[in-house]
Amino acid sequence: MKKIFAANWKLFKSPQETRSFLNSFKKVFSQATGEVVFFPPAISIEAASECLKGSGIHFGAQNCHAQVQGAFTGENSAQVLKELGGTYLLIGHSERRQIFSENDSMIGEKVALAQNLGLIPMLCIGETLEERESIHTFRILETQLALGLSKADPSKPLVVAYEPVWAIGTGKVATPEQVSETHTDVYNILQRLGFTAPILYGGSVKPDNASNLLAQSHVGGFLVGGASLEVESFIKIAST
């Protein structure tokens, strides 16, 4: 199975910056060893759609509402993403959970909506440093997966991204042993729930640690934050 290299740009890159980056990236895209997905900020999705048409590079949204339309000021429509040619939907990122108070039930609704529209949900899971130190990692991930996938269809495409919250944007990286152990746990939980899905690792992934991390058990690729904002660093990761 092809590895997946996904770029979460968070609240960075205007439409103009998106076009400039993607036009440069297309020139080196042939170096990538797997599938590449970009998650630009909502206001730049149409720019990404225009730039990536026919390129073989995928894009998606960082969030959506659980309804395709309605009186939901400030929300994004998964249906509009689909109409723009998007293929992936990032759901349940730790920043959505922590800053915007999204719970597992709400996340489960979004996963089901994405699948029903023919989009591929990329479900994010992960524990805080306190939860890991309290030896609650397995229980936290098991709950997030069970509830996040409670309305999902095992026969439809799904990607899971494991991001230890304590390693996102902190410069801290889980050791290869921790990544291998946790990804194996996630794989086993998914099997028990009846799902098969690539499991991406996210958490301060950089060109100099990508190769070692990718070699670990059940690591199906990366969800990259800061290192995806520059063409040179991201293509180094995507060509691992």
User: Is 93 a known active-site residue?
Assistant: yes
Q: Which one is catalytic: 127, 163, 183, 218?
A: 163
User: Is 183 a known active-site residue?
Assistant: no
Cα diameter, the chain: 48
Q: Which one is catalytic: 93, 95, 102, 218?
A: 93
Cβ atoms 116, 78 nearer than 8 A: no
DSSP for the chain reads ---EEEEE-TT---HHHHHHHHHHHHHHGGG-SSEEEEE--GGGHHHHHHHHTTSS-EEEES---SSSSSS-TT---HHHHHHTT--EEEE--HHHHHHS---HHHHHHHHHHHHHTT-EEEEEE---HHHHHTT-HHHHHHHHHHHHTTT--TTS--EEEE--GGGSSSS----HHHHHHHHHHHHHHHHHHT----EEE-SS--HHHHHHHHTSTT--EEEESGGGSSHHHHHHHHT-
Active site residues: 93, 163
